[in-house]
């Protein structure tokens, strides 16, 4: 697929689809023609540029080289219906939804970790879950050097990870509370997109409860990490929490390694690793926070410290923009690897 420019389609005009359009432009992806598909026809404005959205049809993929599906977490995405149609017409599909991630025939790719897996595609490449992406970007350099045996992670995930409806719910609830309607906010809020009140609250429930009373979001961190890092023996346990933040997922991650590792060794490796910004000066109150990473493509790491009782135990604090590195940017980066 070596060309000077490529015909690209973005499927979805929600928060991730819009971010894909933004990232394609900002990263100067070599686009020849650009189509935007959604359920219905309309115009959308992204940073002052108007895009004409077409109603999605199988025939719309004629001539498309790369199809970026924005996906909908927790639901069957448009890719289930239209990815085979796009592939049949010669496109390579990069899907941000969950439908193909664990398919043995579909590579699941984070370019900083396993870019070589792109070559194994048979028409479809899967983009991992947002919380998985930032974790493996940060942990893979340490795994290659010290061998990770166990991961315990608690994610603190922003409202935008659940879609624009969750962002509207957070904004409305915050406004009601600001007006003094704290006790009745759940009753009065019209946008009830999530299972609990989010403003001035957090709750350990992302996705649906499945095996072992873990949620499917928590199992994604297990299964996707094993697949991306080609390390099925790592023991992983996760808790996923929704917090009242607009954009930017944070993760408190504990790892146990095969070889002893000091914070200084970890910092030295991470400072040189691709796609990572080390932000760890606790004396100056410098550490990653969601408000500072919004709109950024890197994964930020800080609060690196050794387990006081285990020389092979290390804590890390990992933050990234879930709409960009956790979704749109990673998908475009996969496309960049694909055309090299």
* Cβ–Cβ < 8 Å for 7, 335: no
- Spell out a b/e string for 178-197, using b for 16 or more CB atoms within 10 Å of the CB, else e: eeeeeeebeeebeeebbeeb
User: Looking at 138-225, which runs of residues are DSSP E strands?
Assistant: 148-157
**Which residue among the candidates 121, 130, 143, 205 is catalytic per the annotation?**
130
Per DSSP, what are the bridge partners of residue 226? none
Residue 121 bears catalytic tag: no
**Which residue among the candidates 121, 168, 230, 249 is catalytic per the annotation?**
249
* Cβ–Cβ < 8 Å for 249, 324: no
Q: What span, in angstroms and rounded, lies between the C-alpha atoms of 307 and 29?
A: 43
Sign of the alpha-carbon torsion through 94, 137, 326, 100: positive
Q: What span, in angstroms and rounded, lies between the C-alpha atoms of 13 and 36?
A: 7
**What interhelical angle do 130-146 and 216-229 show, nearest 10?**
40
Residue 130 bears catalytic tag: yes
Place of tokens 């050097």: 145
Q: What span, in angstroms and rounded, lies between the C-alpha atoms of 330 and 23?
A: 10
Catalytic residues: 130, 249
């Amino acid at each position: 697929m070596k060309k000077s420019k490529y015909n690209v389609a973005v499927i979805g005009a929600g928060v991730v689809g819009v971010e894909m359009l933004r990232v394609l432009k900002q990263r100067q992806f070599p686009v020849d023609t650009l189509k935007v598909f959604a359920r219905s026809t309309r115009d959308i404005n992204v940073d002052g540029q108007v895009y004409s959205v077409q109603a999605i049809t199988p025939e719309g993929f004629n001539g498309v080289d790369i199809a970026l599906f924005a996906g909908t977490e927790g639901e069957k995405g448009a890719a289930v219906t239209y990815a085979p149609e796009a592939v049949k017409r010669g496109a390579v599909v990069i899907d941000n939804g969950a439908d193909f991630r664990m398919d043995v025939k579909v590579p699941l790719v984070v370019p900083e970790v396993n870019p070589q897996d792109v070559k194994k595609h048979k028409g479809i490449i899967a983009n991992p879950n947002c919380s998985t992406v930032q974790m493996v970007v940060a942990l893979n350099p340490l795994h290659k050097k010290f061998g990770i045996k166990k991961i315990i992670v608690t994610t603190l995930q922003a409202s935008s990870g659940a879609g624009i409806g969750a962002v509207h719910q957070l904004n409305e609830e915050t406004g009601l509370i600001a007006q003094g309607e704290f006790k009745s906010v759940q009753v009065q809020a019209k946008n009830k997109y999530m299972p609990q009140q989010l403003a001035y609250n957090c709750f350990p429930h992302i996705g649906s409860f499945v095996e072992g009373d873990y949620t499917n979001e928590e199992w994604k961190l297990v299964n996707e990490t094993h697949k991306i890092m080609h390390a099925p023996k790592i023991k992983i346990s996760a808790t996923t929490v929704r917090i009242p933040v607009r954009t930017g997922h944070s993760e408190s991650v504990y790892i146990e390694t095969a070889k002893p590792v000091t914070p200084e060794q970890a910092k030295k490796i991470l400072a040189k690793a691709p796609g990572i910004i080390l932000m760890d000066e606790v004396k100056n109150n410098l550490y990653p926070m969601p408000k500072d990473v919004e709109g950024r493509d890197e994964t930020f790491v800080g609060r690196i410290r050794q387990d006081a009782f285990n020389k092979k135990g290390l804590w890390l604090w990992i933050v990234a923009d879930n709409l960009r590195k956790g979704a749109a940017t990673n998908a475009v980066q996969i496309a960049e690897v694909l055309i090299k």
